Each structure stands twice: as C-alpha cells, then as structure tokens.
Structure 1
C-alpha cells in the first residue's frame, strides 16, 4: 500500500458543514495500486468522499476504513515523567539554597549591628577590613542568588517543554483513525495528482453586517464568519463560502390533506401582539439621499474612498458561492474568523418614527432596497452613524430587489413630549352612564439642521364589551390613518428648529355597575 502525503488546498464552507479538498502527488509503476490517505477527520460523512485529479490511471474504488493506531508506549511517558521529577527536585534544591542565603543575610545584618559599637572604638584599618568583608559576603550571596534564578528559569522552560511533549503524546493516544484507501490501475508508469474531497460536520459560516449612515448615503458591509471544530486545522488555502444548504435540499415538498370538521376545536389562549413603530404605513413622503432639501446632501468635494477587498461570486441555480480575495487560516478550535464578502451602497429613504405612548424617542428609519445581485442571509448588523457606533439590529434574509425597513438608532435631535392635559370622570347615577374623558397633547421638535419627516403613532382604547363604548372626541390635526385596532398615525414634515403639536382625545362610557379594566395607559 502506498502512503500519499496530502495537504488541504481548498475548503468550501456551508451554513452547517464543509467540503474539504486534499491534494497530493504519487509516482506509480504499471499495475494496480492501493493508495492510503490518512489521517482523516473521524466525523467525515462516508458517502461524501470523492476522488479526482490528473494522470493516466483508472480509479477502481474508494473505501473509508478504520485503522487501529498504536498507543503511545509506556516507556516514552515514563521517561518524560522521570525527567520532570528530576527538574522538580532541582528546583526544590534551588529553593532550599535561597532560604539558606536569606538566613545568611540575616546573620550578617545581626553581626554588623552587634559589631558596630565595638568597631566604633577600633582603628580605621579594622573598620575598613570589616566593611570590605561584609561587602564581599553580600556580593557572593547576591551573585549566587542571581545564578540560581537563571537556573530556575531554565528548569521552568524545560519543564514546560516536557509538559507539552507529554500532552502531545497523550493527545495522540487514540485507538483508531479514519483512512481513505483509493484503488487505481496504471497502464504504464505515471505521475498522478490526486484530489480527495470529503464533507465534515462541525463547521459553519454565518453573516454579520456593518450598516453605516454617512453624508453620501447608507453603506452595507457584509462579512462572513467561519468557525469549525472538525479535528483538523485548515491552513491558508482556497476558501469558499456557499449559501447552499445540502441538508435542506434532499426532499421535494409535499402537502398533507386539509381536513375540516363540525366539531369545535379546544379553547386556546391568545396573546395580542404589540404593534411596533416599524409597522407604520410607508405611503407618506420620505426624505431621499441627495434630493433637493433632503436629509443627506452630498459633500461638494468628497475625498477618495478606500477601496474594499471583496469576494468573487458564482451564482448557481439555488445558491451562491463566494470566494474571498484574502485567504484565511481556520484552526479547529471553534473560534470565528472573519472575512469580507462585499460592500454595497444602498438606495435608501430616511424618516423618523416615534410612539410616545411607549417611549419618548424618535427612531431613525431607512427604507432601503437591495439593488445588488446578492441574497443577503440573515445576520446581526452593527449600526454606525459615520464613525460612531449606535447599536445593533437583526437583519432577516434580504433578496435582490426586495425593500426593507431598517431601524438606524435613536435620533436625539428629534425631541418628543406627551402630556395628559385633561381627564374628567363622572359617576353613574340612576338611569345614566359613567363617562371618562381624556385628552393628550404630543409635541415634536426638530433640533437638527436638516428637515425631518416624522411619523407619530398613538392609540385609542378598543372595547371588547357591548356595555363599554369608546368615541374619539378630538384630533388636531386629523390622523393620516386609523385602523380597527385603535392605532392613530400622523405624518408631519418639520423644518430645522421647528416644532408641531398634536392634540387628540377620547370618551369612554359604560353602564352603571360595569367595571372597566385596562383603561390606564
């Protein structure tokens, strides 16, 4: 059997797996050969193995087998442990010598203190001789201490190296490995270039984005984050990111019969979904980038922009494959490694949305269209206003030509106030009804230097009981939209440094003895 030395030369990563390609060269004489490729990841999918290449040979078959791997010998482990124990003993001796040196230094200090009074009466030569002796002994002690510290650091480095060798030996102490055995037939002596590819789980890639709002518009940068724990490290090689989902393309969808019956279904609990600010009608005028009087005029003389290194794309029937220009090494440790896929300038219109009954903040909203050929997968997007990070949002899958509303963060230049200006409640008397009248004002101020279009959302209570009625009493100006769930929508255009006020009110009436629940905001 011929052992083929291979290296990973290409990896295609899918959202939940990866296809790895190994390449190697073999010199064969005429006849039938069995070529061994090992070790391979233990989790590879057996039915995914493929062989290709160049050379005048016939591939007769490919088998995946499990081979027993010789365990690390006990002698190697014992030798490493013995050397580590020797180093431990040497470092213990150095520590003992340090303690003895500390005792010697303490003794010299006491000796100097005890001799100070006696030497004060001695002649100068004896004092100098004693001082020189102390200096020499101190010097010898400190020199020996420095030498022991040097030896200690050498022992520590050697001990760490032995620990790594021991960990490597124990890490390789596996009982079996996966091996690909390729059977080929050569009609004559030949040199063949073989490629072995296989699919492994425990690998994936996902999308993240940067959404940057600047003077020239809205820019989206798309990144692919690759991570894997397949058991083999991927070096810098031809890396491709595919949007195909092999596990979800195996069955043609079918429908089961739809039965109806006269029997009442069991009672179910329903929860009313809250209406979000982003669900406002988009039929009103919005501000376009670069439009006369718009929110984002272009700079007179823009500086040249940095060029992006983007991936090349191959569009398939149901998926796309991206090849980043910069290769990325991905170790098998589960950490993510980022590569740039593309950068897009989006056509977008801006406006603001506020629902002051929920929050006195105005959210900057962009209505953008994907004018590229890319289908952008779902992912997390970081939001920037120029260079300032303002938050993050989640993007759903975004197809070419599709329009999407994007929340770009709170704009503090649009100030919102909501005030209860009137609340009257009357008690029910004999034959009368109980009445509650409420009135609010909402003030919106544009403190920015550009015009702004603001959509304001508020609501009226909705009765679920025939004994309770709700009537709108005032609305100035009239809402642009009302729906059956009581949501009112105003749209207003504010000049710079301008403000506007909205007033609305309602009346709630109920019969005597009827308790109203949920009326308070």
Structure 2
C-alpha cells in the first residue's frame, strides 16, 4: 500500500477510479485487530497491530477507536498492504465511552432469584419483629402459671425457626449475588475502556474494492522490563560451576492487554543529547591585575587564585546592561543544548550478539501480558558457567570465613545490571546486585559466610630485647598464630587469609618481616642477575605481569604480598608490600587443620616512644 506520491502506478496506464464520495470505516482496536508483536524496553514498549478490512473504490476514512491512553502520539506509524495508498494520519484524544448496562438471560435469571430471596428475607425479618412484639404484649397476671412454661417454649421454638430461616436466606442470597457479579464481569468484557481514549484517523485512497491490511506501530508508556537472576552454586560438588537462570521481569499498565503475542526484550536505551564535546584551548599567562574581569571569566582553566573584589550594592546602568546581556547569552546557549535532537536509533535484530550492548532477547512462543501492573517473569536462558570458589578471611577483624565464586561469562549473552538471588547448596543465602558483564568477562559473586571453616586467632605474643654498646637499640619481637580447621567432607582448595605487619613512617623505626620470608621488590636491581625481578625470581600473575615468586610456607600453603595477582602493569610492582599486607593461599584437606605463623620485629633507639604498637 504505497503512500501519496508513490511511483507504483502511472497515471497514463491506469485510469483513475470513479469518485463515489468518502466512505467511513469504524474500527475498534481491541475487536478488529490483533497485536502481532511487542518489543519491551526499559521504560516503554513498542506495539505492532494488524488490521484487516475492506475498502471501497475512492476515498476511505478509517477511524480506529480504543487505542490506549499511554500511546505516544509522535510514535504512531502505519503501513499497509493492498491496492490503496495512505494519504494522511491524525491522532486525537477523545472522552472515554459511557458505560453501558450489562444484561443476559442468565444474568436476568440470577437477578430475579436475588430479588425473590430478598423478599423472603424481608418477610422473615418482619415475622421475627412480630413475634417479639407479640411476646412483649402478653400480660403475665392474666396467664395461668401452668401455661407459662408452654408459652415460653413455644416462643423459643418459633424464634429459633425464624432465625434459622433468616440465616439460610442470607447465605443463599450471598451466593446468588456472587454469581451475579461474576456474570456481570463476563458480560461486561473489557473494563479498561476508560484507559482507551486515543483515536486514529487514516485517509486511504483505493483504486478498487477489496481487502487490505493495515499495520499500526506505536510506543506506549507504563511498560518496562528488568533482568533478574537465580545463581546456584554447589560447594560439595567436584564439578565447579555456577548455574545461572537468566530471567526477565515484565511489567505493564499501558491500558491494553498483550494477548497471545510474541514478546521481545530490548536492551537499547533512549539517548538524549549525546554528542562529542569540543575541547577548547588551554591558555596560560602571567597574572596581570589590569586585565578585565570579562577576560578572566573566559579563561578555560585559571592557574591562579586571587581575592575576589567586593562589589558595591549599586551598579552603573552600563554594568547592568552588560550583566543582562551575558545572562541572555547564557540562557540562549542552555536552550540550544536542550533543543538538540535525539540520536538516531538503529534497528535491532532477533539474534543474540555479544558484539554490542544493544541486544534483543526473543521470548519463545506466544505470551499474554495483561495490563495489571504486576511483574510477569520469563526465562531468557539457563546458563552453566565455570566458577572458581574462593574462601577469604581477615581474622584480625573477623574470624568468619567469607565465600565467593569467581565466575566467567563464557556464554554469548550480555548479563545486564540486575538483582540476583543467590543459592548455595540449595539454600537461599543473599541478594546480590550483578554488574554489567560482557561475554568472556568475569565477575565475583559473594556467597555469604561459610561456617564449616573455623579460624582461631590467638593473642599476639610479644618479646622485648636490647642490643648495642654505644648506640643501644631495643627490638620488639611479635608472633601471631592462626589456626584453621576444615570440617567439610571435601577439601578447600583456595582459602586466602589476610593479615598485615606495621609500616614504619620514621627513619629511626625499622620493621623486619621474619615469617613468611617475603622481601620487598628491588626495582633498581631488576636488570641484574641478583635482582628480585629477574626471571628466576618472578612468576606471571593472572594478568600476565611478572611479580615476585610466592614463598612456600608448607605443603599446600604459599604466601605473597597482597595485590600481586591484581597488578596490571610493571609500574605497579614497586608498590607491593608498601602497605604491609600479606596473604596466605591455603589448600586444606577434608577434616584437615593447618597452622599459620606471622613473625616480625620492630627496632628503635632505646627510650623511643613508638606509637601505633597497641593496634
């Protein structure tokens, strides 16, 4: 169906159709069309509707009522198939249709039954009142004592019978009224007419009578989707992997139900005002007080600070005119920035691709999402990703052992920011905010506290000694013992224990690490055969940078300066050990126990008051 001006047909080859006046076609979106697809974005949805109807030769005016109130007018587009052309499209908001009375044979029968029960209930209530009124009018002095008990029993029997009748009628009427409400809901159909207040009018010129198809696409507000995850890790399994259920939570309150349609989830976001900034010249000069304040304000990066002069409360008219002119200029520049047009958005494909952050997920099959503002979950993918479990503890601060999984996204899916529900060994442990993770990228997932690994952090052992004849010095020797027990039925292959030694800030105070025997990197001697960074004394970390070789403490236990695995360049090697932090990497067998020892000395002149030793 070409639009006006389409070169699809030549005026010389096809005679113009006879003009029979305008033919109006009234359509209701919910009754005369079907939603064929919905693309849901983070803050709106794009809906595609298909209309099929017959047109007459000449001009046809198609009026589509019942479009949702959340429709964005500037997003409405129409295309068509058939021997006709689209001339014009207009969108308008109309008042919601009046609510019509609802009736049906079944509903009439239920209402008649309800009225019958209501009349019977009123009669029974009147009978109760009459019985009470009659009983109160009896004159006790005129009643024989032998007849009194018989009258009271008769009153009780009659009242009990009437009360049971009232209760039964109320129960029956309640059941009938519930059926009436259900039948009214069935006959009433769509209750969201008040939310369908948009009308589209489309002019179509047909070259002959026949059927045509009209495809309407539009964006609606009050629709969104967000990624959620279920991450499951089994610490007892020999196969180290993480099961991730990648889900989408769809919520919409657009005013129309999406019934039996294909749903796609889009990761693209609307970008407003995205443009490449302009880098201005960076000017420097010698400070000259005689320069005008206007010139100083235009300086992009002032390199001096001077005291601002106090301003008089009254300014000259010329100054006021200049200030007003500058204010108007700034306002114009702000308006120009705000009025920049949106960036063009490319079309999305249905294939999952890791080459871009704008990806489309297609939900298999057809799905129904009602306009109820309730989250509806769909599963995007079930992923099984490789995971490395790592236990971390800082017993000086907290003796509990923290468990985390280092997971690599080896799938083709881009994992978006979202809330993850974490399960360890089948039990829910925490909620975790998953960061943006691209394919082949890794992330850390915190799995909570592992109480099956127990750590005992003994009190710090201290010893003081003196040395020297002329320049006497005192040496403080410290020993810290750490005991670790694994109560699991499987071995713990990667437990990291963090601790530290003091760092001297005074030339007269020296700190020497005894055990583990780590030494600081000597960058200056790296080119010599004895340098600490020589190939024989270094290893490559996980980022490919050569760092000092870890020290083997015992079987399955090595020590190194904290941060060695995270050094990304050779320039960061010289910072190792400057903060005094040490990490032991331990492998503990099932039901096994290991002991760690941290020894260091602090030397200073005799009588020196060393601060910080109390920590």
TM-score normalised by structure 1 residue count: 0.70
Q: Which residue matches 1:416? A: 455
Contact 1:364 1:410 (C-alpha < 8 Å) held by counterparts: yes
Q: Which residue matches 2:559? A: 479
Q: Output the CA distance in 1 between the equivalents of 2:368 and 2:447.
A: 34
| 1:336-393 CA-partner distances (Å, limit 9, x unpaired) | 1100000111122233222223322223332222121111111121222343222232
Q: Which residue matches 1:269? A: none
Q: Which residue matches 1:450? A: 490
2:125 to 84, 89, 97: 97
Residue 188 of structure 1 pairs with residue 218 of structure 2: no
- The structure with the largest alpha-carbon Rg is 2
Q: Which residue matches 2:223? A: 203
Q: Output the CA distance in 2 between the equivalents of 1:434 and 1:168.
A: 92
Contact 2:253 2:372 (C-alpha < 8 Å) held by counterparts: yes
Q: Output the CA distance in 2 between the equivalents of 1:461 and 1:116.
A: 109
Q: Output the CA distance in 1 between the equivalents of 2:508 and 2:73.
A: 69
1:16 to 43, 68, 76: 43
2:591 to 483, 491, 497: 497
Q: Which residue matches 2:12? A: none
1:334 to 373, 390, 407: 373
Q: Output the CA distance in 2 between the equivalents of 1:116 and 1:237.
A: 83
Go from structure 1 to structure 2 and tell me whether the alpha carbon gap of 1:156 and 1:440 turns closer, same or farther (over 3 Å shift): farther
Q: Output the CA distance in 2 between the equivalents of 1:468 and 1:49.
A: 78
Q: Which residue matches 2:264? A: 240
Q: Which residue matches 1:391? A: 430
2:480 to 440, 448, 463: 440
What does 1:155-174 align with in structure 2 at a 5 Å threshold? 157=178
Go from structure 1 to structure 2 and tell me whether the alpha carbon gap of 1:412 and 1:327 turns closer, same or farther (over 3 Å shift): farther
Q: Output the CA distance in 1 between the equivalents of 2:603 and 2:255.
A: 71
Q: Which residue matches 2:544? A: none
Q: Output the CA distance in 1 between the equivalents of 2:174 and 2:442.
A: 64
Go from structure 1 to structure 2 and tell me whether the alpha carbon gap of 1:467 and 1:177 turns closer, same or farther (over 3 Å shift): farther
Residue 229 of structure 1 pairs with residue 229 of structure 2: no
Q: Output the CA distance in 1 between the equivalents of 2:489 and 2:190.
A: 68
What does 1:340-419 align with in structure 2 at a 5 Å threshold? 340-419=379-458
Go from structure 1 to structure 2 and tell me whether the alpha carbon gap of 1:142 and 1:67 turns closer, same or farther (over 3 Å shift): closer
SS at match of 2:90: strand
SS at match of 2:257: coil
Q: Output the CA distance in 1 between the equivalents of 2:281 and 2:176.
A: 77
Q: Which residue matches 2:15? A: none
Q: Output the CA distance in 1 between the equivalents of 2:145 and 2:600.
A: 102
Contact 1:101 1:141 (C-alpha < 8 Å) held by counterparts: no
Q: Output the CA distance in 2 between the equivalents of 1:28 and 1:118.
A: 94
RMSD: 4.7
* Greater fraction of residues in strand: 1
Kindly state the Cα deviation for residue 202 of structure 1 after the two structures are TM-superposed: 2.3
Q: Which residue matches 1:2? A: 25
Kindly state the Cα deviation for residue 198 of structure 1 after the two structures are TM-superposed: 0.7
Q: Output the CA distance in 2 between the equivalents of 1:330 and 1:105.
A: 60
Go from structure 1 to structure 2 and tell me whether the alpha carbon gap of 1:149 and 1:378 turns closer, same or farther (over 3 Å shift): same
Q: Output the CA distance in 2 between the equivalents of 1:466 and 1:264.
A: 35
Contact 2:396 2:499 (C-alpha < 8 Å) held by counterparts: yes
Residue 27 of structure 1 pairs with residue 54 of structure 2: yes
Contact 1:23 1:193 (C-alpha < 8 Å) held by counterparts: yes
Q: Output the CA distance in 1 between the equivalents of 2:595 and 2:245.
A: 39
Contact 1:98 1:145 (C-alpha < 8 Å) held by counterparts: no
Q: Which residue matches 2:162? A: 141
SS at match of 1:360: strand
Go from structure 1 to structure 2 and tell me whether the alpha carbon gap of 1:237 and 1:449 turns closer, same or farther (over 3 Å shift): same
Kindly state the Cα deviation for residue 50 of structure 1 after the two structures are TM-superposed: 1.8
Q: Structure 1 unaligned segments of length 5 or more: list them.
A: 74-82, 121-126, 266-311
Q: Which residue matches 1:283? A: none
SS at match of 1:443: strand
Go from structure 1 to structure 2 and tell me whether the alpha carbon gap of 1:197 and 1:314 turns closer, same or farther (over 3 Å shift): farther
TM-score normalised by structure 2 residue count: 0.60
Go from structure 1 to structure 2 and tell me whether the alpha carbon gap of 1:100 and 1:515 turns closer, same or farther (over 3 Å shift): farther
Q: Which residue matches 1:51? A: 78
SS at match of 2:205: strand
- The alignment covers a number of residue pairs equal to 443
Kindly state the Cα deviation for residue 405 of structure 1 after the two structures are TM-superposed: 2.5
SS at match of 2:265: strand
Q: Output the CA distance in 1 between the equivalents of 2:510 and 2:366.
A: 65
Go from structure 1 to structure 2 and tell me whether the alpha carbon gap of 1:97 and 1:341 turns closer, same or farther (over 3 Å shift): same
Contact 1:64 1:180 (C-alpha < 8 Å) held by counterparts: yes
| 1:474-506 CA-partner distances (Å, limit 9, x unpaired) | 434473124333321111111222221222245
Q: Structure 2 unaligned segments of length 5 or more: list them.
A: 1-23, 101-110, 283-300, 307-349, 466-470, 517-552, 563-575
Q: Which residue matches 1:213? A: 233
